[in-house]
Structure 1
Amino acid sequence: MTLIVCQLALAEGDGQYKLASGDVVRIAVYGEADLSFEEVRLNDAGTFSYPFLGQVKALGKTPNQIEELIADKLRDGYLKDPKVTVSVITYREFYISGEVQKPGGYPYQPGLTLQRAIALAGGLTERASTKRVTIVRGNGETRQGEKATLETAILPGDTITIEQGFF
């Protein structure tokens, strides 16, 4: 069996969402109900099992790249001209902690900003500082302090910490 690699997160600079552990995708192969799946969750390694192909590693790949990968592999001895569609059903969560009313994990929504993430967490506490914010990106990149504004884009898998302000 072939091992295929792929990850979901927003690609640097191109705006394409890259898959990662925890994402849920829909795979549709036109005219092939046995090869179509309503919900496939990527496991901790960013892989999923697919008929004929075995473990497909999706970590770091876009849905379009997964479409091409599955179509190419199915074309190689299984189907004459497969039409494959891969779409993200549920994005992995982002996390917010510190000086917010309800810290925890929340479902990512496209277009999410720090301001909207704070609103989802019930708003800031009276001690919160919007200037002392740390965002650890799902890809390991860290942004601190003044670089993070209320308009900063939040990505799936991000961890946000709102510190106390000094009065």
Structure 2
Amino acid sequence: MLKKIRICLFVCFSLIFSLLVVADEHDSAPTQVSLLYRIQPGDVLNISVWGEETMQYKELRVLPDGTLSYPLTGVIEVKGKTIGEVSQLIAEKLKVFIPEPNVNVMVHAAEGNLAYVIGKVTKSGPISLLQDTTVLQALSLSGPFDKFADKSAIKIIRLHGGQQELIKFDYDEVSKGDNLNSNIFLKPGDTIVVP
């Protein structure tokens, strides 16, 4: 009986250890994003050229102006481009030095595509926009409203061409199925204010 208990404990500990190792590996893995994902300032990229050991660069951060420096290409504009477009752009510039370069670009961390929720919610702070996210979805990620929150006076502040735009959002209306046009898709840099 004691032998069976020891075997059972050994199997349980082995399973727990393997799950912890898998979780640890998952935390350090690149962010899984769609091929249609548009790169933003603040994102972190891994870029490599197949067969070129000296062209393997990890964790290159996109600068606030939307550019990135990569060897032999100089400064390149990557903001708003997909992973495929950036790969193609780098490959074109490298053709002068490397015949038929095979460039691989991966998003290590999508830190540039953030919106923010502030005010009377349980969890205020940044929200990653790894996929199309509406105001209602962002609010659901922020936890329940504070009991004093004015859900009918929520505002979205959006930077648009150097100007700030104010968009009104009435949670009570939208949750009833009314005024669904106000449940817009968020853009990087949007701030939802819950008064």
Normalising to structure 2: TM-score of the pair?
0.62
Structure 1 residue 148 and structure 2 residue 169: aligned? no
1:142-165 per-position Cα deviation (integer Å, ceiling 9, x unaligned): 54325433xx433433221223xx
Q: Identify the match of residue 40 of structure 2 among 20, 25, 35.
A: 20
Q: What amino acid does structure 2 have at the position aligned with 1:123?
A: P
Is contact 2:37–2:130 with CA below 8 Å preserved after alignment? Answer: no
Secondary structure of the corresponding residue to residue 48 of structure 2: strand
Structure 2 runs not aligned, ≥5 long: 1-34, 170-178
Quickly say closer, same or farther: Cα 1:134–1:87, change in 2 above 3 A.
Answer: farther
Q: What amino acid does structure 2 have at the position aligned with 1:54?
A: G
Deviation at 1:74, TM superposition (A): 0.5
Separation of aligned partners in 1, 2:87 and 2:127: 28
Secondary structure of the corresponding residue to residue 86 of structure 2: helix
Residue identity over aligned pairs, in percent, reads 32
Separation of aligned partners in 1, 2:160 and 2:83: 18
Separation of aligned partners in 2, 1:60 and 1:35: 24
Separation of aligned partners in 1, 2:43 and 2:160: 14
Quickly say closer, same or farther: Cα 1:103–1:110, change in 2 above 3 A.
Answer: same
Quickly say closer, same or farther: Cα 1:72–1:116, change in 2 above 3 A.
Answer: same
Q: Identify the match of residue 121 of structure 1 among 142, 149, 157.
A: 142
Please state which structure has a larger fraction of its residues in strand.
1
Q: Identify the match of residue 64 of structure 1 among 71, 81, 84.
A: 84
Question: Cα RMSD (Å) of the superposition?
Answer: 2.6
Quickly say closer, same or farther: Cα 1:87–1:57, change in 2 above 3 A.
Answer: same
Structure 1 residue 100 and structure 2 residue 121: aligned? yes
Normalising to structure 1: TM-score of the pair?
0.71
Is contact 1:138–1:155 with CA below 8 Å preserved after alignment? Answer: no
Q: What amino acid does structure 2 have at the position aligned with 1:108?
A: L
Separation of aligned partners in 2, 1:87 and 1:134: 34
Structure 1 runs not aligned, ≥5 long: 1-14
Deviation at 1:46, TM superposition (A): 1.4
Is contact 1:134–1:143 with CA below 8 Å preserved after alignment? Answer: yes
Moved more, 108-117 or 20-29: 108-117
Q: Which residue of 2 aligns with 1:86?
A: 105
1:62-103 per-position Cα deviation (integer Å, ceiling 9, x unaligned): 22221111000001x211111112232222222111221232
Is contact 1:96–1:159 with CA below 8 Å preserved after alignment? Answer: yes
Q: Rg: which structure is higher?
A: 2
Q: What amino acid does structure 2 have at the position aligned with 1:148?
A: S
Secondary structure of the corresponding residue to residue 81 of structure 2: coil
Please state which structure has a larger fraction of its residues in helix.
2
Q: What amino acid does structure 2 have at the position aligned with 1:18?
A: R
Quickly say closer, same or farther: Cα 1:35–1:131, change in 2 above 3 A.
Answer: farther
Deviation at 1:34, TM superposition (A): 1.9
